[in-house]
A and B are shown apart, each in its own frame.
Chain A
Amino acid sequence: MGTETQLVKIEHLYKEFDADTKVLADINLTINKNEVIAILGPSGTGKSTLLRCLNYLTVPTKGAITIGDVTVDAEHHTKRDVLELRKHTSMVFQGYNLFKNKTALENVMEAMTVVQKKSKDEARKTALELLDKVGMSERRDFYPSKLSGGQQQRVGIARALAVNPNVVLFDEPTSALDPELVGEVLNTIKSLAEDGTTMILVTHEIGFAREVATRILFMDGGRIAADGTPEEIIDHPENPRLKQFLNFVNRK
């Protein structure tokens, strides 16, 4: 293609929580605009840690992260670097993590008014459009405690989109949901993918990853053990650990 614009670049990223827990080891990765990346892998292999390093919720031990025009080097980062980096990403959490003291609409508006300093009217307008996009405009004045898990997660997605991020990070966005609510959230994510939103999605939903992702990473033991198209990773796996993982998941 050749016209791809690089949005995310991870160089020699390491994370150790302490001397005995080396969670990420020399991760290198480039992500282009409009890519939808799914990250698969056994539990405890560092998928969440990798995602959280991208917005410094977890501070990496070593390595550089570039998102858009911001580069942050773990060994010499400042508070301001981290804030800048965070303004270029947003995150959808497994536990939704909506602000409990704010309505659905206020949750979506919050970062626009407080971080981006947009006017209330402008923020409101954008927020209403986003709530409409995730099918939540009717419940815009509801507090999170009055919404189902699936509804909260859709608001969480609208909130993440509100800051117009370079890339949206999803950490198992449906794992906490009752099975009957998973579909509505996956459909929302799918529609974002169709709009060309750049996303990185840690998930255990292999079928969904196969369908929606443009590229799949398989993580194992703190490294990216396989990286390829959904066909390569899911249909024709070569890495033995990946084969084992897929067999294990399919049996469940």
Chain B
Amino acid sequence: MFKVSYFLEVLPVIASKVNVTFELTIVATFFALLVGVVIAVIGYYKIPALYQFTRVYVSIMRGTPIVAQLYFFYYGIALYSAFVRDMTPLIAVAVVMSLNMGAFMSESIRGALLSVDEGQKEAAYSLGMTNIQLIWRIIIPQAIRVALPPLFNDIINLIKQTSLAFMLGVPDLMGAAKIEGARTFRYFEIYAAVMLIYWIIIFILGLVHKFLEKKCATMY
């Protein structure tokens, strides 16, 4: 049966790998945001050629499982690219997560940019503001308010996705669990511990998300 003493013993062992999860999340969030902003701006201005390219890219990223993307990249592309072959598994996971989540984030960001109505832009132009002034002072502040809650949701999803790293042998929470399992065969307690740790992290972020959503809705 469920052995509480073992559960309490294994919990810190597994939790000690949580830094991998955090590192991956932070790096992937940063680059996903970068990818997301670039794609969103291309979409906002409908830049020819690039726009069509990003539509296909986003569609593929959203329309295929991330595990398939990861294997395609790490095992598929590696056959033809020494650059990918030389990547550590951790970096490869970070790259795929950034590319994948960037596609999702671009949609949130593009929607937020489009949420600023034409009238306000005309008002800014009519007062003699330049495009840059309009973007920095009117569009971005309003777009952030709209984009923040969905982006935060994307980040929560990113955290769950970090467990993919395990599939390439990166010793994260799942990796630690596997090693423990091979030693003690107490999968029940071990994976309960894994789930508890993820759940606590996501739960706390969920609270932050709720707070942000409320704050953004009542800001002005």
State A103–B220 Cα separation when bound (angstroms): 8
**Which of A2-10, A22-30, A92-100 contacts its partner?**
A92-100
Residue B122 contacts which of A93, A101, A144 (CB distance < 8 angstroms)? A93
A145 at the interface (CB under 8 A from B): yes
In the complex, are the beta carbons of A159 and B138 less than 8 A apart?
Answer: no
Interface bits A76-108 vs B (CB < 8 Å: 1, else 0): 000000010011011101011111111100000
CB neighbours (8 Å) of B119 from chain A are 93, 95-97
Contacts of B138 in A (CB 8 A): 99, 101
* Cα(A95)–Cα(B119), bound, Å: 7
Specify which chain B residues have a CB less than 8 angstroms from the CB of A90 in the assembled complex. Answer: 126-127
Which residues of chain B from 97 to 143 have a CB within 8 Å of any chain A CB? Answer: 117, 119-120, 122-130, 133, 137-138, 141-142
Q: Quick check: is A111 within 8 A (CB to CB) of the other chain?
A: yes
A35 within 8 A of B: no
> Smallest CB–CB gap between B117 and chain A, Å?
8
CB of B209, distance to nearest CB on chain A (Å): 22
Looking at B117, B120, B125, B141, the one whose CB has the most chain A CB atoms below 10 A away is: B120
- Size category, B interface: 10 to 19
**Across-interface contacts of A101 in B (CB, < 8 A):** 138, 141-142, 145, 220
CB-defined contacts of A159 to chain B, threshold 8 Å: 123, 127
Q: Kindly state the interface size class of chain A when it binds its partner.
A: 20 to 34
| 16 more A-B residue pairs beyond the given contacts A83-B128, A97-B120, with a C-beta to C-beta distance below 8 A | A55-B126, A57-B125, A86-B128, A90-B126, A90-B127, A93-B123, A97-B123, A98-B123, A99-B123, A99-B138, A100-B120, A110-B137, A111-B127, A114-B129, A115-B128, A169-B126
Binding site for B on A (CB under 8 A): 55, 57, 83, 86-87, 89-91, 93, 95-103, 110-111, 114-115, 143-145, 159, 163, 169
Interface residues, chain B, CB within 8 Å of chain A?
117, 119-120, 122-130, 133, 137-138, 141-142, 145, 220
